[in-house]
Chain A
Amino acid sequence: MDILSLLLVLPVITALAILIVKKDQAVRWIALSGSIIQFALAIGITAYYVSLRQAGATGNMLLESSYEWFAPLQIYFSTAVDGISLVMILMTAMVVVAGILVSWRITKQVKEFFFLIVLLSLSAYGFFTSTNLFVMFFFLELAVIPKYLLIGVWGSGRKEYSAMKLALMLMFGSALVFIGILGLFYFTGAQTWDFQEIAKMHIPIETQRILYVLLFTGFGVFTAMFPFHTWAPDGHSSAPTAASMFLAGISMKLGGYGCLRVATYLLPDAAVELSWIFIIAASIAIIYGAFATMMQKDLKYMNAYSSVSHCGFVILGIAMLTKVAVTGAVMQMVSHGIMTALFFASIGMIYDRAHTRQVDELGGMLKQVPFIGSAFIISGLCSLGLPGFSGFVSEMTVFVGSWERTGVFYRVATILACASIVVTAVYILRAVGFAIWGTVTNKEYLKFKDASWSERSAAVLLIIGILLIGLAPFLLTNLIDIDTTSIAQRFIAVVGK
């Protein structure tokens, strides 16, 4: 068995083990140890990949392997990784560990909860490693039902409504994606689902136009791209903490990755011609998301809308089609994944104690629960793009990359996107000011216990991730450099024509 399959087999084993054991505590430990081993495995694979590259391995993707699945339909279970998928896998593994740690104190239907969480993580790993579009779609769809159940069963507030809305909108996105993938299968002339094969095809521009819009919109739904973002605020805020972390941290990145890997990479001519559509959508999402955030009183809604805004940067970076912008988009995906996970984790910890998420009802959290308060502040500062944290480097890279695309339209979009940072600062600082620093309004709150060991380790893990990217972004950019170069070359070739 090759090493990438192991990455998918391990969650399956973990999930089965969870089903078998009886005691809740055993379930927790199995889930945790499974995810930690997975994290270690992801690091190991990355190291192996780097060593292969240093040894001079060429080729867009490495560690390729392929098993027969539905051979008459050309469906093969093929996996391979490149730098971009590896950083996504690393980010996923990190968020999964943190998510499981944060959910340590869940008592309702523990077994089912962790089973679904592991299933969700499996879908992300599968999505990032598969190179066969059908298999990729399989994993994309695999995540929908666990999300529905996680929100519906363990959620709070208008959970049924949010869960159904999320499931239906994501299904709508997948339907678009599937029709797009079918188009790639039939109308490229190759009759193959393998995207490396399709990348070599010359697809007629008329076909490309249709498929590009279908695929980008379809994956865009998963990234909460305007105007398909409405599932995100409701879904995020109704979900239990770990599910919010997964939704915003990982699932939204499936969409971004798909936009980049499938829609944009495979259809470069259409991307150059039509990316303006999505630049407009992204700019609206960035501005609108930021202003909508300003009006929110509920911390989770706040972070959910700010996620819409932040994922707008991802779309913007991808749609700008320059090497630096694409690099920025990938960095933003990773950075936002970790940062938003920390954000939701700390909001969840506050909510567990105060049973409210309203900014004006909280106050002086730093005094009551200093650890949680600090974690909240760090994620907030990262979110507003303070230098030293991951948010700064990734957003800067997107801006610089976007500026490289000349033309009034692109410049205006870039300036608008930059301007949103000010708005972000307003809402973040206000929330931090009221909820964390402000005076203690409710004496009851002084009795709160600070974070438990599991919550602490989750937060520390995520903070390490944020700082690592923020202080040493070259670790990330070096890993994905060769891939972003090859992606950007496709667009340069198109423009050159």
Chain B
Amino acid sequence: MDIVLMFRFEIILAVLILAIFIMSLRGFDTNVKCFLNTMNVLLLLNFIAGWLPLSEGSYFSDFFRTNGLIVLQKNIINLGLLLISLTSYVWLTQSKYRLEFYILMLSSIFGVYVMLSSGHILMLYLGLEMSTIPIAAMSNFNLKEQRSSEAGIKLILSSAFSTGIMLFGISLLYGAVGNLSFASVIANLHPNVLTLFAFAFILAGFAFKMSIVPFHLWTADVYEGSPIGVTNFLSVISKGSVIFVFLTVLYTLFGGLKEAWLLGISILSILSMTIGNLFALRQQNAKRFLAFSSIAQVGFVLVGVTAASTIGSASVVYFVLIYLLSNIAAFGVIGAVADSTGSESLQLFKGLYKSNPFYALIMAVALFSLAGVPPIAGFFGKLFLLTAGMKSGLYVLMGFAGVNLVLSLYNYLRVVKYMFIDDAEKPLAPLNRNRQLTTALYICLIGLIVIGFVTPIYQYIDSLCGI
């Protein structure tokens, strides 16, 4: 029984994937609406099941482990999964391959779970790969569009490249330590040239996945080319989960090298924030805009990461939760606009408040959250990251973070200006509202407004993050 409880995330997911197969054999997916709604209900159940009593421990000689924090991270991912499924409703009704979409997405999530629960670097690597490869297929989902194929190819190539680098780092680490289980790495890791090189290569691998500057070059193109649901998935789930794992890798695995990585992480953070924000300044495509914004957001996450303590880890997890809600809401609105106009230009948002106040308000709240403006949750998320970052007393980093707060505010206010101040040359007709998207957007909205004021949430995360 214990083992079932411990593996329940993975088991449920496997059952879901099998269920989809059976559905396809039975031709169940011919009734589009029924299929999609069933999927949403199943994912809701999956999310609820995540909150069942947890059990801690490790199996398979530490290859697989779980604890309260990992369960929480999986729950956050589950929430994102549900919301993305809801927001992609319209797009999926039009797509022919909705079944495959779900299978690929769930397989990717399976990889994410494996990665989050890994207690051994091999397992971590397997999970990471398993979570990435299906996404490459997903980004190629608009089969008629060349951009989409380009996105798929770019993603798979850059991912292969980063994997190669990371594997090289792992092999160096193996050379230095002689064993790849987390426990023995922690015990035998000493700062020397070999381990530093190993760390640098592994860091580079992760930096690719999180699209940290200077490893971000694939991001904008892939985001632009992929269908919106996939972009959403990439920016939220894929990125969020790698951030979670990155925390473990940095704090526990390479905790002994803290002196060495502090500087590296600070530089990457400064680069990501600054370049992300500067490149977002003039973007006219909504998805490219959010791609660069997400690069900048990861830069802020790295500020919090430098704290290397409970507050660092708690603030990062808290931020990812908020970031997930903000980005899903923003992509949800962009999706709604793109579905009815066929274009993703930011110009379409001009005068949106007059034509579609609901969508404009949701978008504004999401953008304010990303910019870190009170009373939206993003304010707390971002400032706690800075609070964590100040702990190490890195003044230069804080200075750059401060400048970037201003820059990012400009970026997001630009879109707010389009929506609320400017007038459209040709106002959009009222966009379609469907129940699924509206539900998801309301969940995001309520979450973004409430999270900052419901004190137990942060306390709960903090209590799980104790190091």
Using CB atoms and an 8 Å cutoff, list the residues of chain A in contact with chain B. Answer: 68-73, 134, 137-139, 141-142, 144-145, 148-149, 152-153, 159-160, 163-164, 167-168, 171-172, 174-176, 178-179, 182-183, 185-187
Contacts and interface: CB of A to CB of B under 8 A. Distances in A.
Contacts of A187: 393
B409 A171 contact: yes
Interface string B206-241: 000000000000000000000000000000000000
7 contacts: A71-B459, A141-B379, A149-B416, A152-B421, A172-B406, A174-B405, A179-B399
Given A167-B413, A171-B405, A186-B393, 15 more contacts: A70-B458, A71-B455, A71-B459, A72-B311, A73-B311, A144-B373, A149-B421, A153-B420, A168-B410, A171-B406, A172-B402, A179-B386, A179-B399, A182-B386, A183-B390
Contacts of A153: 420-421
Contacts of A179: 386, 390, 398-399, 402
B128 interface: no
A85 B249 CA distance: 48
A142 B374 contact: yes
Contact of A72 (B399, B420, B459): B459
A187 B395 CA distance: 12
Contacts of A72: 310-311, 314, 458-459, 462-463
Interface string B391-415: 1010000110111011001100100
Contacts of A69: 455
A186 B406 contact: no
B158 interface: no
Contacts of B403: 175
A175 B405 contact: yes
B374 A141 contact: yes
Contacts of B405: 171, 174-175
B368 interface: yes
A68 B373 contact: no
Contacts, number: 88
Given A160-B417, A168-B406, A70 B455 contact: yes
Which size bracket describes the interface of B in this complex?
A: 35 or more
A167 B401 CA distance: 17
A34 B440 CA distance: 34
Contacts of B463: 72
Which of A71, A144, A153, A182 lies at the interface centre, i.e. has the most chain B CB atoms within 10 A of its CB? A182
A145 B373 contact: yes
Contacts of A164: 410, 413, 417
A163 B402 CA distance: 20
A160 B398 CA distance: 29
Given A71-B459, A182-B390, A149 B420 contact: yes
A178 B383 contact: yes
Contacts of B256: none
Shortest beta-carbon contacts, A-B, top 8: A175-B402, A72-B462, A182-B390, A152-B421, A142-B374, A171-B406, A171-B409, A175-B405
A226 B150 CA distance: 52
B459 A138 contact: no
B397 to A, nearest CB: 11
Name the residue among A160, A175, A187 with the largest chain B CB count within 10 angstroms.
Answer: A175
B251 interface: no
Contacts of B374: 138-139, 141-142
A160 B368 CA distance: 18
B386 A186 contact: no
A159 B409 CA distance: 17
A134 B382 CA distance: 13
Given A153-B420, A172-B406, A175-B402, A148 B413 contact: yes
Contacts of A183: 390
B201 interface: no
B455 A185 contact: no
B433 to A, nearest CB: 20
B398 A182 contact: yes
Nearest to A140: B374
Interface in B295-334: 310-311, 314
A302 B160 CA distance: 63
A182 B421 contact: no
B455 A178 contact: no
Interface in B412-467: 413, 416-417, 420-421, 455, 458-459, 462-463
A163 B413 CA distance: 10
A146 to B, nearest CB: 10
A142 B403 CA distance: 19
A68 B462 CA distance: 15
Contacts of B368: 145
A171 B380 CA distance: 15
A182 B368 CA distance: 22
Interface in B164-196: none
Contacts of A142: 374-375
B384 interface: yes
A148 B311 CA distance: 33
A168 B409 contact: yes
A145 B402 CA distance: 17
Interface string B224-268: 000000000000000000000000000000000000000000000
A137 B390 CA distance: 16
Nearest to A159: B421
Given A168-B410, A178-B402, A182-B390, A68 B455 contact: yes
Given A160-B417, A176-B402, A70 B380 contact: yes
A139 B413 CA distance: 19
B58 interface: no
A138 B379 CA distance: 8
Contacts of A145: 368, 373
Contacts of A178: 383, 386, 402
Contacts of A186: 390-391, 393
A144 B368 CA distance: 11
Contacts of B393: 186-187
A111 B413 CA distance: 21
A11 to B, nearest CB: 12
A70 B401 CA distance: 22
A186 B311 CA distance: 13
Contacts of A73: 311, 384, 387, 458
Contacts of B386: 178-179, 182
Contacts of B311: 72-73
B307 to A, nearest CB: 11
Contacts of A167: 409, 413
B423 to A, nearest CB: 11
A477 B393 CA distance: 42
Contact of A160 (B373, B406, B421): B421
A69 B375 CA distance: 14
A71 B314 CA distance: 13
Nearest to A186: B390
